[in-house]
Chain A
Amino acid sequence: MNRLNREQMAARVARDIPEGAYVNLGIGLPTRVADFLPGDREIFLQSENGLLGMGPAPAPGEEDPELINAGKQPVTLLAGGCYFHHADSFAMMRGGHLDICVLGAFQVSTHGDLANWHTGEPGAIPAVGGAMDLAIGAKRTLVMMELLTKQGQSKLVEQCTYPLTGLRCVLRVYTDLAVFDLGADGARVVEMVDGLTIDDLSRLTGLPLARADQAQAI
């Protein structure tokens, strides 16, 4: 089977982001989606630390320490972009003004619970940042992650065992093997990579899986 690499996963998510969407890309893997947004679509990237209309990384030597993204990396602002304070920034999320938020995850449950902020390990210093606000704020919260851990355990689960970030908030999960829609009825397979069957996916995840109405190969 043709497992997607991280670039291909990012490109797959980018395909689903329409013209005119207001989008927050979480730190880590979701940030890569920006590299695959088609140039002929105007898409507004929001960063929680107070900018809308975020552009790509600056040229070497052009970095401004006061112009950074949520991951504290130097970025640029597109013409037409703007700055705002933190309360406005999170009002954009919580108030349902963002169309799409793409997040990474430790685990996602088949009914859309998200765990992505804390492993719960003893001694770990917890840090949450904007994860909980992002999870529940956008009109569509999407997750991108590898389907299996390095140990082969499914990160799509019946019930999350890590501490939750948000309840029933994730609508779709993009993985290296398949795309799933989530909801009260459980997970439905929207797409799979070539050479994979629903039975294979059920075996890998240990979950009863149904095919969405329009399942197709990625």
Chain B
Amino acid sequence: MIDKSFADIGAAVADIFDGASIMIGGFGTAGMPDELIDALIARQVGDLTIISNNAGNGEAGVAALIKAGRVSKVICSFPRQSDSHHFDARYRAGEIELELVPQGNLAARIQAAGAGLGAIFTPTGFGTLLAEGKETRTIDGKDYVLEYPIGADFALIKALKGDRWGNLVYSKTARNFGPIMAMAAKTTLAQVSQIVPLGALDPEVVVTPGIFVQRVVAVAAAPAPAGSGESQ
């Protein structure tokens, strides 16, 4: 019997290693897998590369991981916000490297990794600072920048419900990067509010097929604080 569910959240993150690259879902606090991150913080691993839309909001989630000094590099689209103080301090102290990626290119590069593509040509960023030094090509009269896929050793994502085969459905705009990160990481961990029996999820509305998910952990549904901080 295949059972991807983990009763112990600590066991689910037990093989995350020093220097690992980790995708973390979420747009601000919506979709941020706080409990998985707390379990990761409880392990003494560091030098992590974090791939996420933001570089932490407030005190929980990615912000807590950065505050704990475990992160050496962040790949994201929008680090600077009113409540990104933990990132700001570490970045200004030279302790964290930042790779800034336009949000749509971040999504496309993650999706490319999950889809097994060698690279993509994207029009976004052409002629700007963020494309400096990158290969370009004109296709049908339009200018594109060559961008490479972004994969990761692990993805930590948050969904609403999952089953023991790893099928997932999400909650509203907390879906955001979850489905594409699940595809792009070697090992994907999904925290869900509820693990349901096989067949309980309508196969017509499954968003992430279980093939993209290796571990499912149920955590108590706890509403996150209302969104804070401005962002794009």
Q: Do A and B come from one complex?
A: yes
Residues on A close to B: CB < 8 A? 26-28, 47-51, 63-68, 70-74, 77, 83-87, 89-90, 93-94, 118, 123-133, 136-137, 163-167
B-side interface size class: 35 or more
Is the beta-carbon distance between A133 and B128 smaller than 8 angstroms? no
Given contacts A65-B224, A83-B175, contact A129 B180 (CB under 8 A): no
Given contacts A86-B176, A128-B103, contact A66 B80 (CB under 8 A): no
Which residues of A sit under 8 angstroms from B92, Cβ to Cβ? 123, 125
| Number of inter-chain CB pairs below 8 Å | 170
By Cβ-Cβ distance, the 5 closest A-B pairs, closest first, are A129-B232, A90-B104, A133-B104, A72-B227, A66-B174
Which residues of B sit under 8 angstroms from A129, Cβ to Cβ? 77-78, 102-103, 231-232
Is the beta-carbon distance between B78 and A125 smaller than 8 angstroms? no
Is the beta-carbon distance between A74 and B227 smaller than 8 angstroms? yes
B178 interface residue (CB < 8 Å to A): yes
B165 interface residue (CB < 8 Å to A): no
Is the beta-carbon distance between B226 and A65 smaller than 8 angstroms? yes
Given contacts A27-B230, A65-B224, A131-B232, contact A125 B91 (CB under 8 A): yes
Q: What is the distance, in angstroms, from B62's C-beta to the closest C-beta of chain A?
A: 14
Q: What is the distance, in angstroms, from B71's C-beta to the closest C-beta of chain A?
A: 15
B30 CB contact (under 8 Å) in A66, A71, A90, A126: A66
Which residues of A sit under 8 angstroms from B124, Cβ to Cβ? 94, 132-133, 136-137
Q: What is the distance, in angstroms, from B28's C-beta to the closest C-beta of chain A?
A: 4
Closest to A167 in B: B127
B229 interface residue (CB < 8 Å to A): yes
Is the beta-carbon distance between B129 and A163 smaller than 8 angstroms? yes
B173 CB contact (under 8 Å) in A27, A67, A166: A67
B176 CB contact (under 8 Å) in A50, A74, A136: A50
Offer 16 A-B interface pairs, CB within 8 angstroms, sorted by A: A49-B27, A49-B176, A66-B31, A68-B30, A72-B230, A94-B104, A124-B80, A125-B92, A127-B81, A128-B102, A129-B78, A129-B103, A130-B232, A133-B124, A163-B128, A164-B127
B172 interface residue (CB < 8 Å to A): yes
Closest to B103 in A: A130
Which residues of A sit under 8 angstroms from B173, Cβ to Cβ? 47, 49-51, 66-68, 83
Is the beta-carbon distance between A167 and B176 smaller than 8 angstroms? no
Is the beta-carbon distance between A87 and B231 smaller than 8 angstroms? no
Among B88, B102, B111, B127, the one with the most A-chain Cβ atoms within 10 Å of its Cβ is: B102
Which residues of A sit under 8 angstroms from B129, Cβ to Cβ? 118, 163-164
Q: Cα distance A7–B108 when bound, in Å?
A: 36
B170 interface residue (CB < 8 Å to A): yes
Q: Cα distance A93–B232 when bound, in Å?
A: 14
Which residues of A sit under 8 angstroms from B209, Cβ to Cβ? none
Is the beta-carbon distance between A130 and B104 smaller than 8 angstroms? yes
Is the beta-carbon distance between A94 and B123 smaller than 8 angstroms? yes
Closest to A68 in B: B227
B79 interface residue (CB < 8 Å to A): yes
Q: Cα distance A64–B175 when bound, in Å?
A: 14
Is the beta-carbon distance between A166 and B128 smaller than 8 angstroms? yes
Which residues of B sit under 8 angstroms from A73, Cβ to Cβ? 227
Which residues of A sit under 8 angstroms from B91, Cβ to Cβ? 125
Q: Cα distance A114–B127 when bound, in Å?
A: 11
Q: What is the distance, in angstroms, from B108's C-beta to the closest C-beta of chain A?
A: 7
Q: Cα distance A86–B111 when bound, in Å?
A: 10
Which residues of A sit under 8 angstroms from B108, Cβ to Cβ? 87, 90, 94
Is the beta-carbon distance between A71 and B231 smaller than 8 angstroms? yes
Apart from A47-B173, A129-B231, what 9 extra A-B contacts exist at CB < 8 Å?
A50-B173, A68-B173, A86-B107, A87-B111, A87-B179, A123-B92, A126-B100, A128-B78, A132-B124
B126 interface residue (CB < 8 Å to A): yes
Is the beta-carbon distance between B231 and A27 smaller than 8 angstroms? yes
A93 CB contact (under 8 Å) in B104, B127, B224: B104
B167 interface residue (CB < 8 Å to A): no
Is the beta-carbon distance between B77 and A65 smaller than 8 angstroms? no
Q: Cα distance A72–B224 when bound, in Å?
A: 13
B223 interface residue (CB < 8 Å to A): yes
B123-167 to A contact mask, C-beta < 8 Å, 1/0: 111111110000000000001000000000000000000000000
Q: Cα distance A68–B232 when bound, in Å?
A: 12
